[in-house]
Structure 1
């Protein structure tokens, strides 16, 4: 597996490897150690916060960098609705071929 990861790194800028949930066994930790990075995916109303925190604490002991977290199944209404209003005054502009979020005017 280590050779595969090394080969892929020489050919691609970004490699995403999906694995079993962290509570399901050691596979995610082994893959995280091989890749050096993890992106955590949690589900609203399903992921146990205490268990997730315990798993994150365990990652502190491994040579793994946590890149961030994704929270799935967040309803459009409710507590997270204000983000839509926060971005309402912005638009996407193209600058030098790159799209950027900018405030008009």
Structure 2
């Protein structure tokens, strides 16, 4: 007895595509974090500073993507509700501890 295809279907949840600002944030965030970690290995403080600046530029692009940028602080009070919110939380930690490392 063959099963019908409609027996296996579940509700479809529409997804929202990301714009170029979020894509740029993901690229710059990864590039900045990678540059910072490589600078730690090679002991080049200037490259670590450049990595943090690239990371902060990516974060600025993420803030520009928000519909209401003045509400960005809300992401920090519920960091486990979305991946973008988690990213904001961990980027803030990385910039803070990265600045301590460079200083």
- What range describes the TM-score normalised by the shorter chain of this pair? under 0.3
TM-score when scaled to structure 1? 0.25
- Larger RCO (CA within 8 A; separation ≥ 6): 2
TM-score when scaled to structure 2? 0.25
